[in-house]
Structure 1
Amino acid sequence: MPVDLGSRSWEQLFARHVAGDTGDEITAILDQAGSTDAIALSGGFPHPDTFPRAALAESFPRVIGDPAALQYGPTAGLPGLRDWFAGRLGAQEGVRPGDGELMITSGGMEGLGLITRCLLDAGDRVVVEGPTFFGALVGFQRAQAQVDAVPVDSEGLDVPALERLLRERPGAAPKLVYVIPDHQNPTGLSLSVERRRELVALARRYGMLIVEDVAYRELGFDGELRPSLWALAPDVVAQVGTFAKTFTPGIRMGWIAAPAPLIAQLVRAKQNTDQCTGALGQLLLEDYGRSGRFDQGIAFSRTFYRARRDLMTAALGAHLPEEMRFTRPGGGFFSWVTAPGHVDTVALQARALAQKVTYVPGRAFYPDARGGNELRLAFSRVPDEKISEGVRKLAGVLAQAAGLRGAR
């Protein structure tokens, strides 16, 4: 039923930071994922085969009897879960969060949203990777921040380029640098150890906070675990993580490990969003973690997704024209394709959908006009037998648009 607002339009009622929004990539990806007839290479969804259904079925009867299970909980998270996870971080990273340095969030996106809300005023400078995760990018832009994108290469964020940017623009230093150092979304690339140390040094020199998104950190395929930025410099790094890829996305949980003054401010902000992360999910995760199955599940997921990565990169090698490039990720869910400069991957979406295949155009991952000839492919949830078929169809669309032959 239409709503009569009288003399005001909806656009006039919307806050300035959302008025004029024309696209919503996250909503589009979620909608595409529900399609039954298209090969969805667009959404970075965990595969249901990696969800710990049996363990959760065993945990639930134990957990549901806890008086805390169905009640409000502390805003920072239940003490038991924080204790278990702080210990796990300590064992894995060599640094354990101190008192007041760890909080539980309702997913990684809430963590990023809380940091944005607490740190950024209109006009503040932010540096991101170019390309970067569009969910974070949209949040920074809606906060009316000035966003600069620094290129990435085979070693991850181009830290020397970031240093040049800081020298050449001597005004107010960026408040934060947002980086995904491990198996980055969208490229699958990882930041080298040397550059990690250089980035930390820059942050200390210029007084910047590094926001380290570790969504895919534990899903490496070669067994290498480079030092996290938070472990290298817990005084200048806020680590934002999610359990969506290592537990289940349906139970919305993540974490932030950061200096105590920042955590205190983030907890105050969370009191005005969802007040507290769901206690039942926290108890289930703690029970799963203390059982020892958490690490077993991650080991299974690494093997599972590595096989998917191999299918995807083999298909790209077989079907993409040789003039096009793609990344072979060392972990995570994604490969990044670069076509010749005259190819418009936004315009090609409809043609690809007509061939029953979807992807995410590269422009969604930049704060400016870059990325028009790039695109992201996800291999995490597509059935094995559909990966090669989807890549073959997409390669044909790209080759036709580029005026190239369709295979290497």
Structure 2
Amino acid sequence: MYRIQPVQIDWKPDKSGPDAVYAQIVRFVCQKVETGEWPIGTRLPSHRELARLFGVNRGTIGKALDMLNSYGLIKGNRGNGTVIASNTWSVLLPHQADWGSYVSAGYFQANKTVVQEINRLEFSPQMVRLGTGELDPRLFPADMMKEALSRVASSIESLGYPEPLGLERLRKAVSRHLEKIGIIAPPSSILITSGALQALQLISASLLEGGSVVYTERPTYLNSLRVFQSAGLRLTGVAMDAQGISMASLQNIVPLSSAKTDAVLYTIPTNHNPTGRTMTADRRYALLKFCANRRLPIIEDGAYQDLSFDAAPPPLKAIDKIGTVIYLGSASKSLAPGLRIGWLVGPEPVVQRLGDVKMQVDYGASSLSQMVMAEFLESGMYDEYNVFLRNELRRRRDAALDVLNKRFRSIASWQVPDGGFYIWLTLKETIHMEFIFRAAAKEGILINPGDIYDFRRNNSLRLSYSYTTPEEFRDAALKLADIIEREIE
């Protein structure tokens, strides 16, 4: 795929400088990769020749190459010596931020006011939650959970701290689960996290420097949070179309000439939150090629991957051949958010580094939750429950669409989701969505205004069919239609 080519070196480290000579050589190589001068497949000179070119001894060269190898930036290639193996996430490791300075009081910015109100009102028993991103508690597999807990209880011998990457048993089970969607990931490339959200926190605090740019769909789940902004990162929205993130928009925002490593792309290609759209296979291949050419690392959020009603296109990670993608998965949407179990899949050096950071943040996700999740995956109960869950969500989606077709056709438009929880409803008349939010709340209906997911005011709202029965959804949606029509008048 990549042409093997020699390199030219006309630079020497400053032996009198404050930084170690081997560290200067590491930065030099990283800069060459970062700027694109040394693409993947570039062959490095022999150790002896590198020592001559840099004017150092072979021991210093060995130390620098060991460091580069630990990052996954280079690898030995039989018959071709040492070659550049990665040009995205691995380049970030030598430049990682001082994450410890972020994990302190005052690190997190406050949520938007409306998000704070939603978080509060979700616990009100009088509210019909028409926009919430959570499964109906009545769908919880109580008997399966009791069985899993019973099996774990009968075999448990201790509840000590887990390994830095998470229990090996669970990582093996997740590895086998990922194979079903085309992701080949050994346990050593998997980090167990306390939900997918913690994975984003670890990445933002330990791989990305303050001021880095996060490109993401517009609208996006990320914009309802403050995790990246709190780390000093800047979100830049990229328009979407019916097939997912717009390549034309992305090309305008990220021109080839500006390729650099202080930017990443965050995307939810399958059952997108909040729009419910699923990126087509062709768009996924185009996106991966685009990002590989620009050395733009990708964070793929697969939280809704297991909730596709029919076969979904392969995850970006499944077609990634050069380590461009870090994949995030979670049990929060497909089983139980209270387990607080998620997983991160990426290049092993990156996963190892994030595992070290996680140990210093919380010393590992709950051992008991990890055991329970492993039991669900190993026993087949997770797959069995997901068959039931997808069928029930499809039934609820169809019922919700029937209500919308009968009552909202004249006032709004929407796209039919292929899975997940959400319908993105866009009103035909321009209305301040916060007015709708407050008017609905007064009548006991909790909705999620589209503004909280966007980079500017929009005319949309996120409806969810996952938390209510079809009858509950119908009754609340009919009231919502009346509220909207009153505001239009």
Name the TM-score, length of structure 2 as normaliser: 0.74
C-alpha distance 174-377 of structure 1, shift in aligned 2 (>3 A):
farther
Mean Cα deviation higher: 105-114 or 55-64: 55-64
Root mean square deviation of aligned Cα: 2.1
Of residues 186, 191, 202, the one that matches 2:279 is 191
Q: Does 1:56 align with 2:145?
A: yes
C-alpha distance 84-77 of structure 1, shift in aligned 2 (>3 A):
same
C-alpha distance 291-99 of structure 1, shift in aligned 2 (>3 A):
closer
Task: Give the structure 1 partner of residue 240 of structure 2.
Answer: 152
- Per-residue CA deviation, residues 191-213 of structure 1 (Å, 9 max, x unaligned), is 01111001111111111111111
Aligned 1:316-395 pairs, distance under 5 A: 316-340=404-428, 342-366=430-454, 368-371=455-458, 373-395=459-481
Instruction: Letter of the 1:153 partner, please give it.
Output: D
- Say which SS state the counterpart of residue 258 (structure 2) adopts: coil
Q: Please tell me whether the aligned partners of residues 64 and 280 of structure 1 are also in contact (alpha carbons under 8 angstroms).
A: no
Q: Give the Å deviation of 1:121.
A: 2.0
Task: Give the structure 1 partner of residue 392 of structure 2.
Answer: 304
- Say which SS state the counterpart of residue 303 (structure 2) adopts: coil
Instruction: Letter of the 2:443 partner, please give it.
Output: Q
More helix by percentage: 2
Give unpaired runs (5+ residues) of structure 2.
Answer: 1-103
Structure 1 runs of 4+ aligned residues shifted over 4 Å read 24-27, 171-174
Structure with higher RCO (Cα < 8 A, 6+ apart): 1
Task: Give the structure 1 partner of residue 56 of structure 2.
Answer: none
Instruction: Give the Cα separation in 2 of the matches to 1:174 and 1:194.
Output: 27
Q: Does 1:401 align with 2:484?
A: no
- Say which SS state the counterpart of residue 329 (structure 2) adopts: strand
C-alpha distance 354-29 of structure 1, shift in aligned 2 (>3 A):
closer
- Say which SS state the counterpart of residue 177 (structure 1) adopts: strand
Q: Give the Å deviation of 1:27.
A: 4.4
C-alpha distance 357-160 of structure 1, shift in aligned 2 (>3 A):
same
Give unpaired runs (5+ residues) of structure 1.
Answer: 1-12, 404-408
Q: Please tell me whether the aligned partners of residues 115 and 452 of structure 2 are also in contact (alpha carbons under 8 angstroms).
A: no
Task: Give the structure 1 partner of residue 402 of structure 2.
Answer: 314
C-alpha distance 78-173 of structure 1, shift in aligned 2 (>3 A):
closer
Q: Give the Å deviation of 1:341.
A: 5.5
- Say which SS state the counterpart of residue 305 (structure 2) adopts: coil
Instruction: Letter of the 2:315 partner, please give it.
Output: S
Name the TM-score, length of structure 1 as normaliser: 0.88
Instruction: Give the Cα separation in 1 of the matches to 2:257 and 2:440.
Output: 41
Of residues 207, 213, 233, the one that matches 2:320 is 233
Instruction: Give the Cα separation in 2 of the matches to 1:343 and 1:135.
Output: 21
Instruction: Letter of the 1:63 partner, please give it.
Output: V
C-alpha distance 22-108 of structure 1, shift in aligned 2 (>3 A):
closer
C-alpha distance 69-242 of structure 1, shift in aligned 2 (>3 A):
farther
Instruction: Give the Cα separation in 1 of the matches to 2:256 and 2:325.
Output: 24
Instruction: Give the Cα separation in 2 of the matches to 1:118 and 1:14.
Output: 17
Q: Please tell me whether the aligned partners of residues 334 and 386 of structure 2 are also in contact (alpha carbons under 8 angstroms).
A: yes
Q: Does 1:77 align with 2:166?
A: yes
- Per-residue CA deviation, residues 234-291 of structure 1 (Å, 9 max, x unaligned), is 5110111110122211111000011112101111110122111111111111122211
